[in-house]
Copies of this chain bind each other. A is one copy, B any other.
Amino acid sequence: MDQIRVVFLGTGAAAPTRERNVSSLAVILDGATLLFDCGEGTQHQIMRSSVRPGSIDAIFITHLHGDHLFGLPGLLASLGLNGRSRDLQLVGPPGLARFIAAIPYRGTPYSISVLESEGGAVYVGLGFRVDAALLEHSVPCLGFSVIEDDRPGTFDVARAAALGVPAGPLFGLLQRGSPVSVGDRVIHPEEVLGSTRPGRRVTFCTDTRPCSASVSLAWRSDVLIHEATYTSDLAAEAASRHHSTAAEAAAVARDADAASLILTHISARYASPAALLAEAAAVFPRVTAASDFIEIVVPAARPPAAS
């Protein structure tokens, strides 16, 4: 797999503003497009972004609050109008299927499969899977982690030649982890492959209090996208409304040993995310703030862990 890209489609909280639409983002892998959350107007944002709606393979809904959900009926309808015929997978917390069933005159010319989950593996694609975990919000809410399969170590061509393996199909077998016979000798993959490289990991936690479930789900993520609805002066409001402050999001990133943190779900009261960023950076320096339509490329190799 080459590039993994995150496209932010809606980075605000609760209600749309002129600057930030309600929650949605796309994770685009080689040959797969995954949408996470679908607030009202997501199809409008997609139209203005690099995401091709027909390429969406699955839609993951964190929870059934409107700012994460109410764009779904319209997107489903427009996919049908655009001629979609292949199946679409939906994943979300319990209640999602009932919401989908209540859409009047849905009549989409493709099949929709709804997986209601309270955590665990929820989707498997070519070279990756998606895990979910129940976070801590006022209603059942899932965090999601896109986890690339571990990649085989680098193939040592010189070493293989020295062991007498002829170039050709046997190289491929070794690269894919199978032992091969050369004359009367068996060559094992580990003799010619460097150590396995862990797959990349992108984790999305919104809406939630900082919690151990987020830390586990985000463990050593290359990119952790975490809600940061409030600054620390509103910590009490963050707690009572089951949200996080920017500093709390940063503590999750630190405790999860994440490589980078992106703040999202930013309250309309902040014209600029500067204060949120400053508070987060004091806890976890490798932090930035999302804005609608920015795109992030997940680094191919994880930087050394912070000391």
Interface residue ranges, A against B (CB under 8 Å) = 14-18, 21-22, 39-41, 43-44, 47-48, 64-67, 69-71, 73-74, 77-78, 81-82, 95, 98-99, 102-105, 139
Contacts and interface: CB of A to CB of B under 8 A. Distances in A.
A78 B47 contact: no
A73 B102 CA distance: 13
Given A95-B104, A102-B99, A18 B81 contact: no
Contact of A40 (B64, B74, B81): B74
Contacts of A41: 40-41, 44
Contacts of A78: 15-16
Contacts of A44: 16, 21, 40-41, 44
A81 B21 CA distance: 15
This protein's copies in its complex: 2
A224 to B, nearest CB: 26
A65 B105 contact: yes
A14 B43 CA distance: 13
Contacts of A18: 47-48
A102 B105 contact: no
**Top 7 A-B pairs, shortest CB-CB distance:** A102-B102, A40-B74, A64-B104, A66-B77, A70-B74, A15-B78, A41-B41
Contacts of A82: 15
A36 to B, nearest CB: 18
A43 B18 CA distance: 11
B15 A81 contact: yes
B104 A99 contact: yes
A104 B95 CA distance: 8
A43 B44 CA distance: 13
A17 B18 CA distance: 18
Given A65-B105, A70-B70, A139-B105, A43 B40 contact: yes
A227 to B, nearest CB: 17
A98 B102 contact: yes
A102 B106 CA distance: 14
8 contacts: A15-B77, A16-B43, A41-B44, A44-B44, A66-B103, A70-B74, A98-B102, A99-B102
